[in-house]
Amino acid sequence: MNWLLRISNTHREIAIKELESLIGAKTSVQWIMPLLVRIDAEKGDIDKIIDKMASLKWVIQNPLLVSPSDFFSLQSDKIAHQIPPTGTDTFAARFNQIMVNIPELSKSKTERFVGGLILDCFPSLQVSLDNPNSVYRVCYFIDCYVMGWTYAEQTFQRIEESSPKMSPFFGGGAMKPMLTKILVNLLYPLHPIVLDPFCGHGGFMRGIASAGSFAIGIEVSMKIARECKVNNQYHQVEQTQIIIGDALHQPFRRASIPEIISDPPYAKQSTTIGRDREDLIERWLNSSDQERVLITLPKDMVFEINNNWKLEYEIDDFVHKSLTRVVRKLVRLK
Ligand SMILES: C[S@@+](CC[C@H](N)C(=O)[O-])C[C@H]1O[C@@H](n2cnc3c(N)ncnc32)[C@H](O)[C@@H]1O
């Protein structure tokens, strides 16, 4: 089956990696635009992506791509193969432009035209602009119309509910929940136990737990560890354990926890118990025995990655004018 997935623009580069990680190498993927991907996949695989992927905005089944010059001469037989989702009796056609803004492209004219084509094909349907069962989506990207029935759509409301600001305790500059979830997915499929050795108020721990794994967090500050526990209880996340301790002296059997995801200390307000920040990262990477590590650090933090590790990728993520994060995925070499 053929699908079209629209990815959020917010963390574009990382979102692309998220999709690649969730979809695996076996599925054939064709990027139409930086934010639009066409995929040949079974329904079950798409449903799994819809369930997990943080940066997914919507999915169309059996998309139709039309050039601008052909659009208003389109005949209804061209969309007849696009069967409305089961249970559809009312619909709305919705038009929007993505990454462009061409004033001459009229929203109402486009929606009326496409609505007419749909009624020609499926006369039993009725238009409901306010409360449709299903939405027929028409998008204009750079020089192309993309259209089809919406199979799934994310409002991001569920993700925003886990925002640091919705927690009893959070630190300044805490990561937005969409990014936390994307980064957790970069390690997909997750090991059953995942460690955050600098867990702070527990954003990654809750991301790991909501992805179905058990999260262990290490935090050097007793105060923050206690606050992290309150946060986890507040969000009713049970699959977590916080250890008050030092990331450089982990109390685990060697090689027992193969995966780490972490946002090590970088801001002035984060304690490092007097250690130099870069030195702490280098020493921690030297002493870690994990197989895969996903870390985010500001771009201006310069540290050496020793030759135990292969840098699989690094991606910049602009936050604001004085902070660009770099997301790095490291894989153990020896
Ligand atoms: C950037 S914050 C982590 C933010 C976290 N991801 C969150 O959602 O709140 C880094 C944390 O590392 C802790 N930390 C600093 N040095 C540490 C060490 N040696 N071992 C464990 N935790 C440490 C700091 O107290 C701080 O809470």
pLDDT tens-digit profile of 195-223? 999 999 999 999 999 999 999 999 999 99
169 ligand 1 Cβ < 6 A: no
User: 143 and 165 share a domain?
Assistant: no
Measure 278 CA to ligand 1 centroid, in angstroms.
14
Going by pLDDT thresholds of 50, 70 and 90, the confidence category of residue 165 is: confident
Closest-CA residue to 9 (of 27, 36, 39, 38): 36
- Average pLDDT estimate for 254-275: 90
> Using CA atoms, how far apart are residues 139 and 18, in angstroms rounded to an integer?
23
User: 149 and 177 share a domain?
Assistant: no
User: 172 and 132 share a domain?
Assistant: no
**Strand segments (E) across 245-332:** 259-262, 292-298, 309-320, 323-332
User: 252 and 273 share a domain?
Assistant: yes
Measure 50 CA to ligand 1 centroid, in angstroms.
31
Measure 8 CA to ligand 1 centroid, in angstroms.
28
User: 163 and 103 share a domain?
Assistant: no
User: Which residues lie below 8 Å from residue 193, measured CB to CB, with a gap of 6+?
Assistant: 213, 214, 215, 216, 257
Going by pLDDT thresholds of 50, 70 and 90, the confidence category of residue 157 is: low
- Distance between first and last Cα of the chain: 41
Characterize the bridge pairing of strands 28-33 and 36-40.
antiparallel
> Using CA atoms, how far apart are residues 173 and 139, in angstroms rounded to an integer?
35
Going by pLDDT thresholds of 50, 70 and 90, the confidence category of residue 26 is: confident
CATH number at residue 131: 3.30.2130.30
User: 215 and 267 share a domain?
Assistant: yes
- Average pLDDT estimate for 225-241: 96
Query: pLDDT tens for residues 68-86?
Result: 999 999 999 999 999 999 9
pLDDT beyond 80 at 91: yes
> Using CA atoms, how far apart are residues 188 and 45, in angstroms rounded to an integer?
14
**Ligand 1, atom nearest to 201 Cα:** 9
CATH number at residue 294: 3.40.50.150
DSSP, res 141? E
- Average pLDDT estimate for 291-304: 95
User: 89 and 183 share a domain?
Assistant: no
The DSSP result for 208-265, as a single string, is: HHHTTSEEEEEES-HHHHHHHHHHHHHTT--SEEEEES-TTS--S-TT---EEEE---
Question: Domain boundary at 153, 173, 204, which?
Answer: 153
What percentage of the chain reaches a pLDDT higher than 70?
98
pLDDT beyond 70 at 136: yes
Measure 52 CA to ligand 1 centroid, in angstroms.
26
In this structure, the number of other CB atoms found within 10 A of the CB of residue 258 comes to 16
63 ligand 1 Cβ < 6 A: no
Question: Domain boundary at 153, 174, 190, which?
Answer: 153
Going by pLDDT thresholds of 50, 70 and 90, the confidence category of residue 94 is: very high
How many residues are present in the chain?
334
User: 116 and 205 share a domain?
Assistant: no
SS3 147: strand
Measure 267 CA to ligand 1 centroid, in angstroms.
10
Best residue among 167, 204, 219 to mutate for probing ligand 1's pocket (most ligand atoms within 8 Å of CB) is 219
Mean predicted lDDT score pLDDT of the chain: 93
User: 109 and 184 share a domain?
Assistant: no
| pLDDT at residue 49 in the model | 94
Best residue among 183, 220, 269, 288 to mutate for probing ligand 1's pocket (most ligand atoms within 8 Å of CB) is 220
User: 170 and 141 share a domain?
Assistant: no
* Residue 87 domain boundaries: 2-153
Which tokens belong to 219?
A: 């935090």
User: 261 and 325 share a domain?
Assistant: yes
Distance of CA 12 to the CA centre of its chain: 9
Q: Whose CA is nearest to atom 27 of ligand 1?
A: 200
Question: Domain boundary at 129, 153, 177, which?
Answer: 153
**Ligand 1, atom nearest to 171 Cα:** 9
User: 71 and 14 share a domain?
Assistant: yes
The answer to whether 190 and 213 have CB atoms below 8 angstroms apart is: yes
- What is the total count of domains within the chain? 2
Measure 226 CA to ligand 1 centroid, in angstroms.
13
329 ligand 1 Cβ < 6 A: no
pTM, full prediction: 0.92
pLDDT beyond 70 at 162: no
219 ligand 1 Cβ < 6 A: yes
